Homo-oligomer: A and B are copies of this chain.
Amino acid sequence: MDRLARERSDLERMARTRPESKLARNFSLTFVLFFVGGVSWILGYQYPRDVDPSSTLPLSATKPPQFKLSPAHLEAAWADFVDIVGEHNVSTVEDDVKQHATSEWSSYQSDPAKTPFCVVYPSSTEEVAAIMKVCHVRRIPVVGYSGGTSLEGHFAPTRGGICIDFGRNMDKVLALHKADLDVVVQPGVGWESLNEQLADDNLFFPPDPGPGAQIGGMIGTGCSGTNAYRYGTMREWVLSLTVVLADGTVIKTRQRPRKSSAGYDLTRLFVGSEGTLGLVTEATLKLCVRPAAESVAVASFPSIRHAADCVARVVGDGIPVAAVEILDDDQMRFINAAGATSRQWREAPTLFFKFTGTDRGVKEQVEIVRQLSRRAGGQSFDFARDKTEQGELWSARKEALWSTMAQRRPGDHVWTGDVAVPMSRLPDIIEESKKDMKASGLTSSIVGHVGDGNFHMILVYSDAERRLAEDCVHRMVKRAVEMEGTVTGEHGVGLVKRDYLPHELGETTVDAMRRIKAAFDPLCLLNCDKVVRVEKPAKGEVAEW
């Protein structure tokens, strides 16, 4: 019995004590894991968007976006696109996709490895929404495209994926409301052809960026031009937008009244967002009645500073000129050299004025500006007596870019960069930038929307001089920021100026912009890497300030 009793007691211990204590330990573990799992569940799922209570999204808190770009996956997406728009509206032709990745105007050098897989040409908002739904489910990045005239790499793809081009099938004026002074257009309408159509009704659309630009891209960059001094920029002339968001949701930002204070200004949020927040598929634009009378005058000065003084007098006296542009002495020389205008010009800093209003009002403005120009040290003052002379005088302003391009040697490129500063600093920045450019030895000219403190530096450079040009632009941008200005007045940041934004605006402001990007496009499908970074840069990727 002794052995039996011992064995029995051992077995009883085994049966009760040891296994139970293991069980107890496992229960504790179970409980802990259950608790941790449950709490995670609650925090992770029940408050998926409230988990981060902060108001901004610093770069350090981002995760690299994940795309699916295997050849088989893209082939399958291609079939989806063909179902939506038809085979003739999906192109994988090499020339097509290459053309949609860069242009000879762009100061950004595109990465050929990131060329889009295909170009899709939709015909309607519904088709764009269907395409975006496919890309959203399939995690395929998208770049929107219209005129392709932007300068800073706005439509350069950085992640492969697809390009959606609005220029082929979405180029219609949908409705003109003459009595309401508005027009509804598709994104592929060019501003020049729009104005030709509007002229029949004595109307016009003021924003006047580079030739070839289309409404979609003009909205994307928040463009302007010579008319901005009197009429404001693109932001002032868009009433409402129909936008397809990253997940295919369609929104219309506003109805058609000229004025509204109902809710957040989504319209203005999309203007200048460079295709990163949504794809514009329809725009309602404000229009202007053509002024009763118009004239042009040209005045030359011994220096940029004299010209700027003249502008300050005109503005200070409250003379409502419609536009005032400055061309520097180099620019005037290039115009003479190109011989594209019917007359020769004094090769000195020159102001170009536009006047609009009633007949007598315009004549009086011209007379006042003539006097102010003389008092500011003006050396010449010509004004147009009729329509023909108006065209002749303004022709020099029109030929500025082309005549600088005519200075290119074979293989040369042209770089058009813009910055803007508070008006009083314009002579300083122009003078310093001109000195800097002369020192670099590059051929260059300056054309400015002087009434807005905004100017363009046009540089001619060879492949070997690329770095010289880059450095010149970099220093001009830095100068502008230090003068309380902006890295771009009307071209947008694209890829070339994106990393300047924290210097101009501060890190927290860029973090607030990144928060908006993440809110509307959490998967970063739309023109990824533009406006704000969504992924930490590699070491050395960002130029030193």
Contact = CB atoms under 8 A, between A and B. Distances in A.
Interface in A466-505: 481, 484-493, 497, 500-501, 504-505
Please state the number of chain copies in the assembly: 2
Contacts of A356: 320
Interface stretch (A26-34, A156-164, A297-305, A401-409): A26-34
A256 B358 CA distance: 33
A265 B268 contact: yes
Contacts of A540: none
Interface stretch (A72-80, A228-236, A330-338, A435-443): A228-236
Contact of A489 (B221, B232, B257, B515): B257
Interface in A324-366: 356-361, 363-365
Contacts of A481: 255
Interface stretch (A4-12, A98-106, A111-119): A4-12
A18 to B, nearest CB: 8
Nearest to A243: B512
Interface of A: 4, 7-8, 11-12, 14-15, 19-20, 22-23, 26-27, 29-30, 33-34, 36-38, 40-41, 43-57, 63, 136, 177, 179-182, 202, 221-224, 228, 232-233, 235-236, 245-247, 249-266, 268-269, 271-273, 277-278, 289-292, 312, 315-320, 356-361, 363-365, 368, 420-425, 449, 452-454, 481, 484-493, 497, 500-501, 504-506, 508-513, 515-516, 518-523, 531-532
A487 B34 contact: no
Contacts of A15: 11, 14-15, 19
A255 B504 contact: yes
A425 B45 CA distance: 49
Nearest to A490: B261
Contacts of A235: 265, 268
B484 A255 contact: yes
A502 to B, nearest CB: 10
Contacts of A357: 320, 357, 361
A50 B512 contact: no
A455 to B, nearest CB: 11
B48 A486 contact: no
A264 B357 CA distance: 34
Contacts of A505: 251-255, 262-263
A516 B264 contact: yes
A529 to B, nearest CB: 14
Nearest to A248: B55
Nearest to A9: B11
Contacts of A320: 291, 320, 356-358
A259 B233 contact: yes
A34 to B, nearest CB: 4
Nearest to A520: B55
A47 B63 contact: yes
A364 B368 contact: no
Contacts of A14: 11, 15
Contacts of A180: 422-425, 453
B291 A259 contact: no
A30 B26 CA distance: 8
A269 B268 contact: yes
Nearest to A40: B41
A49 B481 CA distance: 33
A224 to B, nearest CB: 6
A234 to B, nearest CB: 8
